[in-house]
A and B are shown apart, each in its own frame.
Chain A
Amino acid sequence: MLKFSDFNLNPRRVGLMASLSLRESLRKRLVAVLLILTALFVGFYLYGIYRMYLDFLDRPGGLDPVTGELGSALIPVNFAAMFGMYLVTFLGSLMAVLSTVGSVSADVESGVVQSVISRPVSRAELVAGRWLGFSIVNAAYVLLVSAVMLGGVYLITGFMPPNPLAAIALIVLSILLTTALTVLGSTLFTTLANGIGVFVLYGVGMAGGFLNAIGTLVNSPVMQTLSRAANTLMPTNELWLGASYHLQHPEVNAGLKLSPVPNPLFGSDPVSPAMLLWSICLTVLAVLAAMWHFSRRDL
């Protein structure tokens, strides 16, 4: 039964649990390892863009000889930036799952949670604090890597997407949603089962984009309905498609719009307000469901 008291939160205690999660991420070197690997990946990727840019310097029409602005290099550079951000989103999602997969279940399995819950901290506060702490870590990671990726592209090519902040905001929302669903799974399942489950759910979201592309290509209403169902169940892919729209130069966007088949990796339209609202609601609902369920289970 739903009880209002399950959702009573003391900000000080939620902050304590969030602080625990932050310190845990830093002390366990998860963030450090991921940052080092990410730096290697981003450096490698930006080096590729740099070499591509050098190629265009020698090509007629690649760059404006007077202003140095992108000419025919615009489209490949824009796609390179979008692919880069796609990989940032994927890494962010990976980080969200890996950092949070055992946020509750691992502590239950090891028995650590017993000494915490026997203190005057409610289970809802523990769950809310864990989600908040890991969300801060994951969002900070995405913000940092996005800034490095887009800043790197700008420094190399002079290209800046038209609305990077809106794109990053949608990616961060996607990461918060993934973190919330992973915390919910952590209150329901074992750590291993949760990890598998959340990755499958992430795959369902991606499948939504592919089903839509194929369904439009073959004009199959059933596949398009399945696509909508997948995107509703896991809106992360829809959020990415919406984010990619904000990364597109108008010429690139016009090209994508002209395509008879939707691109499964890049969207040509902004995310619908309904989907945006649903994603926010789903994030909140996942955290509330985690708080409610954890308040009821035996430890």
Chain B
Amino acid sequence: MLRSMTVPLASTPVIVTHDLRKSYGPKEVVRGLNLRVGRGEVFGFLGPNGAGKSTTVKMLLGLVRPTSGQLQVLGGSPDNPAVRARLGFLPEQFRFQTWMTGDEFLTFHGQLAGLRSAEIRARVPQVLERVGLAGRGGERLEGYSKGMLQRAGLASALLARPELVFLDEPTSALDPIGRIEVRRIIEDLRGEGVSVFLNSHLLAEVEQVCDHVAFVRQGQVLRQGRLSEVMGGDLRVRVELDTAPPATLNILRSFGPILSQQAQPAGTVTLEVGLNSESQVPELARRLLDSGAQLYALTPLRPELEDIFLELVGQSGEAAPAPTNAPEAAHA
């Protein structure tokens, strides 16, 4: 049974879920999801296909009823129209009434959102321009390309000046320029204090715009936190030397484990060493030079989001086995 939550106003999270579950018959799609998204955050929601991401977004928007657990959006229930009036949503399947023109579509959504006529007349050209559709509002949506439809959907999501915007794969139909434009829009939203819940498969995109992320698999949060924390916990350095005698190897081991060692065609040796912190790098360089080693390169390696994603969800998300004793999500 769904219960309401009481969250202290001081923390002002825009989304809080606790042990959120959704089952379709015997299949449990979302299994005890715990999320907390703070106000003004750009939150990346990551996971493989079938991880329950879209179902979670739909529950947060009131489109799907949770089987059990607690959820709160903007301090209330998404079933409450007053809460939904403060949300923006770009669905993954951006299907709209294609018999309408762009202007009519946005006017209709403005009316649904409760905007006044004068405000709608002012806002429609503004949002069309913001998404790169200036001057195209008089055309019917059936004549729009997929990318233009996605832009129109984004315009609709931004129309009523929402406090929280859900973007489900917002750049799936856009060309590289369009993706950059959407990234700028998200950054602008952050600047305006608007919270963004970004559901995307494009990890590079998430890495560039999100300040918080959560990884989900099979309906459970595997890891959640500030992006810098999620990515910064695992520092490696690549060391390229002329040779790697035991004495040199011992120096390296005194800093951390040697993760790999590979001879290069040029006759040098490349090793990867795990470090505890970035502050060890100058000391490592000094010790190697003092030992007489010929140091060709010393490169700090930070894992990319993709590496963390693969490490957490496996090579194939859908085929990956269910996590056993999955860690309880650490609230950001």
Give the interface of A toward B (CB within 8 A). Answer: 13, 16, 20, 24, 27-28, 110-112, 114-122, 296, 298-299
Contacts and interface: CB of A to CB of B under 8 A. Distances in A.
Contacts of A112: 95-97
Nearest to A126: B112
Contacts of A298: 58, 63-65
Contacts, number: 67
Contact of B84 (A16, A120, A296, A299): A120
Given A28-B99, A114-B91, A119 B84 contact: yes
Interface string B93-129: 1111101100000001101111000000000000000
Contact of B91 (A27, A111, A122): A111
Contacts of B89: 114-115, 118
B87 interface: yes
Interface of B: 58, 61-65, 81-82, 84-85, 87, 89, 91, 93-97, 99-100, 108-109, 111-114, 153, 156, 166
Given A24-B99, A110-B95, A111-B91, A118 B62 contact: yes
A116 B105 CA distance: 11
Contact of A111 (B65, B95, B99, B108): B95
Contacts of B65: 296, 298
Contact of B96 (A115, A117, A119): A115
A46 B63 CA distance: 51
B112 A119 contact: yes
B153 to A, nearest CB: 7
12 contacts: A111-B91, A112-B97, A114-B63, A115-B94, A116-B112, A117-B63, A119-B113, A120-B81, A120-B84, A298-B58, A298-B64, A298-B65
Contacts of B156: 115
Nearest to B109: A119
A120 B97 contact: no
Contacts of B153: 115
Contacts of A119: 84-85, 109, 112-113
A238 to B, nearest CB: 37
A24 B96 CA distance: 12
B112 A121 contact: yes
A121 to B, nearest CB: 5
B99 A121 contact: no
Given A114-B63, A119-B109, A120-B112, 11 more contacts: A16-B112, A114-B93, A115-B96, A115-B109, A117-B61, A119-B84, A119-B85, A119-B112, A120-B113, A299-B63, A299-B64
Q: Which of A20, A114, A116, A298 has the most CB of B within 10 A?
A: A114
B99 A16 contact: no
A162 B324 CA distance: 80
Given A115-B89, A115-B153, A299-B58, A120 B82 contact: yes
Nearest to A118: B89
Contacts of B95: 110-112, 115
Contacts of A116: 112
A118 B108 contact: no
Given A111-B93, A112-B95, A115-B156, A122 B111 contact: no
